[in-house]
Structure 1
């Protein structure tokens, strides 16, 4: 019996599986595809996703696979207009080690996650299709197309916008979408174009864009569709891509070859009415789909998984009661609603700006798309007793601090793993920190903080106790002598 079965092996399902497997939770990941995807699809990890994946041990591998700075080279009606770089001034800081997005195709993210998962003894079961499920108070049974069955205590659907699981559960997918595609996409090789920039042609006839990928000859193509004689969009093909290139760039020397991924994209703005049905949860595109502006699709799914992984693991390990799982929807559904709003506004801004020379896809950055400002302040898991600029529910900032051996380290090094971290900020917190009967999944970290660097990062003027969740969000802030608040919070999780 698997403890958790995950349906879908995209970034969401793989992140969830890694987060569970490192806690020792028995997990199976199934995917109906016989082969792993080869198309680029999503192409950016935002700073918050980079923090998440670094916690899972993938920071250096991701940095080697992608690029941080990518200029946007913009043209209008075929003529060069300007070149900008949205993250040109972004540099790591004490509180933010990943200040800019990382550009790399989704397939590389998935491959690295599969490798990390295999290091935890779990491999994706390809060609394994769920066709039905049954559940009761004791568990879930997944029924497969080949007649096989998998039983588990919980099931998580990460099977995309057309989710079989969501449909079987009858959960409404509320929203709207265009019947016809507004974009054709593909992976191609390009001859005659500088791979140092993302080339973006806009004009009265629509948009045509070619984005290069580091360490490969592949480019991702995105374009307004070609119209056929009947006025309807033409299906994507290499021949159509070549005609679109000539139409939008005005260049006869630009040659496209070897199209390996062909797809279309429709405007679809939808969200699941609920994220849970008994012992089954929804995550990623299965729970929400939205416009591509801002590149939040893959990132929002990864962060859904990050939120759910520690909660499922804690309940299954007996470290928290089942009610903890109710906070997954409580925290993540409002984030999805915000994402749908901001990406819809971003798409509208790009569409409106596309008729103005010099405007590119950066027009879609109408809100904070880094994920660093993401907060759960409204959550029942947020207990703030101090106030201040950084509050319970917020992402915990990084900072310099001593390591366990006294050598220089960072807070993120101390947070990494599946434990709670109790920071004792200032010498006044040491007595309470040393006298608390903390369970094994809570690590005390006394920080005298003589220069006040950590307290400044957390917006705290005096000494304090700060409890940080396994997903690196603040759970509790309290006075340095209020150890009872810490024990009360932990007890309230229902272990």
Structure 2
């Protein structure tokens, strides 16, 4: 007899990682519950940068236009000198957009606005987070996870197939699993506060005493709000007054100005910077995602973005296994995402060191467009390719044209929960259709035309190539028409085997 579960997945934590995972499961029709021990949504802006790769993900999830509408680009940095003069400079390397990379600048959206739009999108899909409901314990066995919750209505016990801990740096899920969280405290304690103030213009990110860790302070106008975010290092020990009066005293002492007035404080925190990475992302039927798996210093704007991308990777895999794909597919979550977090920890720590010296500049390395999974077991090539686009790489965008004449982007073809198989001058019938896989052929008899060569420039296909794009926008496999067995094996591995219709 098949066991009846209350839901396929319980997601513990309704921050950016938990919300992204919930959206992914909701649009795939997978049953889940999303719980959050806080009584209401987080209302601060601890994370405010949406990197270009995350913008691509949010486009797929259906909220990028809304984020752009309420957010804005990062302003220039204004470094104030002690004599009252200042110099302006760009905080980021602007670069240029291209057909393959349509988004090339970080977007500023305060975290509480980003998560608000994610909750809005989740409600459109028929779901919402349950606030004031706390995970107090769980046990797992070969078939599922027994979870104990506590909320305003009392205790509740339920059975789910999988549990995902997206419950932050002090993760209860990680603690119960006994997973070590090694790393280090970085010797920097800082304040972050969202405030209404007067005395500074909103056309720049104002910085004072750059390179002086005892007196450094900055004021960033928060796009989409009337607030500024104050950031600055503080002594490693001692209480800090985070009231309007307390912050006003800090500001006056560090800027030598008496015209900057803190009118109100929306949210404020004093915290110690850490760089930590969980030893494991999975124990059987329980997973970690987001800050529960890795915590970063805020330099470089990597934390929220890495968390969302964890969920984007895990979501389609949980859905595939729920729908019959081999359980082994879930092993690739840690295989692919843990090395990414390790690299991001190194980058954020390197940028923190640069900030201490007063010379931090964010370049392409923070955009996350070059992240890929070339070493993944889900990245076969036959034959192996040297240089150019490889299996495991991010799938580039490109403007192309349908056979009927309509202009379309590759990202439009990829958008949604399906896989996409691109053939270059191949026979359409060489691959039989599958549920959840869309097939598009480039060539004289294909449904897609590459008149301007953008597809060829980005993908460098050879005649007879098949390129399989995963639901999360990475190249799953590249094979030639002469080795379709590799493709068929791969499709079965990810749950896209042929359906037995019972017909002879």
In the superposition, the TM-score normalised over structure 1's length comes to: 0.92
| Offset of residue 189 of structure 1 | 0.4
Partner in structure 1 of residue 180 of structure 2: 172
Q: Does the 8 A contact of 1:181 with 1:233 survive in 2? A: no
Aligned position for 2:10: 5
Deviation at 1:462, TM superposition (A): 4.5
Aligned mate of 1:40, from 33, 45, 67: 45
Q: Report whether the alignment pairs 1:438 with 2:417.
A: no
After superposition, the Cα gap between the structure-2 partners of 1:410 and 1:141, relative to the gap in structure 1 and judged at 3 Å, is same
Question: What whole-Å deviation, never above 9, does each CA across 1:291-329 have from its counterpart, x for those lacking one?
Answer: 1110100000000000001100111012x2110000000
1:339 to 336, 344, 349: 344
1: CA distance, partners of 2:92 / 2:301: 14
Matches within 5 A, 1:322-337: 322-337=327-342
Q: Where do 1:219-258 residues align within 5 Å?
A: 219-225=228-234, 232=238, 234-258=240-264
Task: For 1:296-445, list aligned pairs within 5 A.
Answer: 296-318=302-324, 320-351=325-356, 353-354=357-358, 359=359, 361-362=360-361, 365=362, 368-385=365-382, 386-387=384-385, 388-403=387-402, 406-425=405-424, 428-429=425-426, 431=427, 433-445=428-440
Give yes or no for the alignment of 1:154 onto 2:162. Answer: yes
Cα deviation, residue 491, structure 1: 1.8
Residue 27 in 1 paired to residue 13 in 2? no
The answer (yes or no) to whether the contact 1:401–1:447 under 8 Å persists in 2 is no
Partner of 1:53: 58
- Corresponding residue to 2:275 among 240, 262, 269: 269
Deviations 1:30-75 (A, max 9, x none): 0000011111110101001110111011121111011124211112
Could you tell me which residue of structure 2 aligns to residue 192 of structure 1? Answer: 199
In structure 1, distance between residues paired with 2:404 and 2:14: 39
Q: Distance in 2 between matches of 1:168 and 1:79?
A: 54
Asked whether 1:201 is paired with 2:200, we answer: no
> In structure 2, how many angstroms separate the alpha carbons of the residues matched to 1:152 and 1:78?
63
SS of 1:467's equivalent in the other structure is: strand
Q: 2:139 aligns to what SS in structure 1?
A: strand
Q: How does 1:109-128 map to 2 (within 5 A)?
A: 109-128=114-133
Output the CA distance in 1 between the equivalents of 2:460 and 2:222: 39
Pair 1:134 & 2:139 matched: yes
Matched residue, 1:63 = 68
Kept after mapping to 2: 8 A contact 1:176/1:269: yes
CA distance in 2, matches of 1:183, 1:77: 22
Runs of 5+ consecutive residues of structure 1 not aligned to the other structure: none
Is the contact made by 1:181 and 1:264 (CA closer than 8 Å) also made in structure 2?
Answer: no
> CA contact under 8 A between 2:18 and 2:166: conserved in structure 1?
yes
| 1:286 aligns to 2:292 (yes or no) | yes
Deviation at 1:92, TM superposition (A): 2.9
Residue 80 of structure 1 deviates from its aligned partner by 3.8
Residue 404 of structure 1, CA deviation: 7.7
Of the structure 1 ranges 131-140 and 87-96, higher mean CA displacement relative to structure 2 is found in 87-96
CA distance in 1, matches of 2:404, 2:335: 39
Deviation at 1:20, TM superposition (A): 0.7
- Counterparts in 2 of 1:438-457, with a 5 A limit? 438-448=433-443, 449-457=450-458
Aligned pair in 2 of structure 1 residues 404, 492: CA closer, same or farther (>3 Å)? Answer: farther
Deviation (angstroms), 1:345: 1.1
CA distance in 1 between counterparts of 2:93 and 2:104 reads 11
Q: CA deviation at 1:158?
A: 0.3
- Is the 1:455–1:462 Cα contact (8 Å) retained in structure 2? no
Q: Which residue of 2 aligns with 1:97?
A: 102
Q: Distance in 2 between matches of 1:233 and 1:461?
A: 64
Task: Point out where structure 2 has 5 or more consecutive residues left out of the alignment.
Answer: 1-5, 444-449, 498-504
1:467-478 to structure 2, matched below 5 A, reads: 467-478=468-479
The 1:85–1:436 alpha-carbon spacing in structure 2 relative to 1, beyond 3 Å, is: same
- Structure 1 residues 173 and 78 mapped into 2: Cα distance closer, same or farther (>3 Å)? farther
Aligned length in residues: 478
Give per-residue Cα distances to partners, 1:260-309, cap 9 Å, x unaligned: 21201212111111000111100000000121110100000000000001
Deviations 1:373-422 (A, max 9, x none): 00100000001235131100000000012248541000000001111100
Q: 1:155 to 1:254 in 2, by over 3 A?
A: same
SS, match of residue 234 in structure 2: coil
User: Aligned to 1:466, what secondary structure does the other structure show?
Assistant: strand
User: Which whole-Å CA distance do the structure 1 matches of 2:272 and 2:112 have between them?
Assistant: 21
**Conserved 8 A contact 1:372-1:395:** yes
Q: CA deviation at 1:488?
A: 2.1
Residue deviations 1:112-133, cap 9 Å, x none? 1001111111110000000101
- Aligned-partner Cα distance in 2 for 1:154–1:225: 41
CA distance in 1, matches of 2:122, 2:159: 21
Give, in angstroms, the shift of residue 251 of structure 1: 1.5
Residues of 1 paired with 2:225 and 2:473: CA distance? 34
CA distance in 2, matches of 1:58, 1:215: 15
